[in-house]
Chain A
């Protein structure tokens, strides 16, 4: 483990955390059950994290959930924007995930062509 590198992260992040309001309102949940993992959820999560940090949107919470029962639609991701209904995207791949980050999570516009289900 490279301890020096980790110390640098601490110094850098400590300053940034102080600046943040502390509220993480936007949430993305990725299905990480056996079905999700087998269908490619891990690279989807990596793409989402990467896209968020490239856009300096590190205050978005990215979490995992288990199998939702729609294994054939995996990888599934849920997007929660403050004050809006949950949107679930199905059969997501890293490219689709990057578009969802840009257009929906950061842009506020649902990417209708990838939607599997939308809360009414």
Chain B
């Protein structure tokens, strides 16, 4: 995948297939530690220890249509390629938490990409699911929560096209803002 945001779009589909009603996506960029952490946590049906162990194996899939499943294997590869790792924790009946780390400045780290479009596609495509997105860059945090959006929107559904545009732009502008605010810190680290 060319962007981390495409990996996120992809692995959240696993949460949705596991009938999650709540999906939390957390990203932290720590310039001092040169570390990017990505977490996707859901309250879906979870997996057995055996399944949790095999889930990053490309030749394992829960599907019956064919014998390969590449989503998590590709994310694992993307993390390990730049000095990070992938961890999968799951409990049957409770949910699953995927944590991936990446060397923030590593040459082979895929760019974050368009998180706005990823969230717009996820939220508008699944208006009944609660999504929470938190993105921190050195103490500055951007946050988007569908629970709060629903309160304001009232009878207007999250799958309206104008809501799609709102999410895309709000995320793009929000991330730009926290990155700009962390700029003095970047200069400090560079010095």
When A10-B152, A67-B65 are in contact, do A46 and B1 touch as well, CB less than 8 Å? no
Q: Tell whether, in the assembled complex, residue A3 and residue B164 are in contact, meaning their CB atoms are under 8 Å apart.
A: no
* Residues 24-57 of A contacting B (Cβ, < 8 Å): 32-35, 37-38, 42-43, 45-46, 49, 52-53
Cα–Cα, bound, A37→B165 (Å): 20
Q: Which of A5, A7, A34, A53 contacts B70 (CB 8 A)?
A: A34
Total chain A interface residues with beta-carbon distance under 8 A: 31
* Residues 125-157 of B contacting A (Cβ, < 8 Å): 125, 143-145, 148-149, 152-156
Q: Tell whether, in the assembled complex, residue A58 and residue B161 are in contact, meaning their CB atoms are under 8 Å apart.
A: yes
Q: In this assembly, does A64 line the interface, its C-beta being within 8 Å of a C-beta of chain B?
A: yes
Interface stretch of the complex, out of A12-20, A101-109, A110-118: A12-20
Q: Tell whether, in the assembled complex, residue A9 and residue B118 are in contact, meaning their CB atoms are under 8 Å apart.
A: no
Q: Chain B interface residue count: which class?
A: 35 or more
Q: In this assembly, does B160 line the interface, its C-beta being within 8 Å of a C-beta of chain A?
A: yes
When A14-B154, A52-B161, A53-B165 are in contact, do A1 and B17 touch as well, CB less than 8 Å? no
Most chain A CB neighbours (cut-off 10 Å) among B161, B163, B165: B161
Q: Tell whether, in the assembled complex, residue B156 and residue A9 are in contact, meaning their CB atoms are under 8 Å apart.
A: yes
When A34-B71, A46-B117 are in contact, do A7 and B156 touch as well, CB less than 8 Å? no
For residue B162, which residues in chain A have a CB less than 8 angstroms away from its CB? Answer: 9, 12-13, 53, 58
Q: In this assembly, does B9 line the interface, its C-beta being within 8 Å of a C-beta of chain A?
A: yes
Cα–Cα, bound, A14→B66 (Å): 45
Cα–Cα, bound, A35→B9 (Å): 12
Q: Tell whether, in the assembled complex, residue B170 and residue A2 are in contact, meaning their CB atoms are under 8 Å apart.
A: yes
For residue B166, which residues in chain A have a CB less than 8 angstroms away from its CB? Answer: 2, 5-6, 9
Cα–Cα, bound, A67→B174 (Å): 32
Q: In this assembly, does B35 line the interface, its C-beta being within 8 Å of a C-beta of chain A?
A: no
Q: Tell whether, in the assembled complex, residue A49 and residue B164 are in contact, meaning their CB atoms are under 8 Å apart.
A: yes
Nearest 5 A-B pairs (CB), nearest first? Answer: A13-B156, A53-B161, A34-B71, A64-B125, A6-B152
Q: List 13 A-B contacts (CB under 8 A).
A: A9-B160, A9-B162, A13-B153, A14-B154, A32-B9, A32-B121, A34-B10, A34-B69, A38-B10, A38-B74, A42-B6, A42-B117, A53-B165
In the complex, given contacts A6-B152, A13-B160, A46-B120, what are 9 additional A-B residue pairs having Cβ atoms less than 8 angstroms apart?
A1-B145, A2-B170, A9-B163, A10-B153, A13-B156, A32-B13, A42-B114, A66-B13, A69-B66
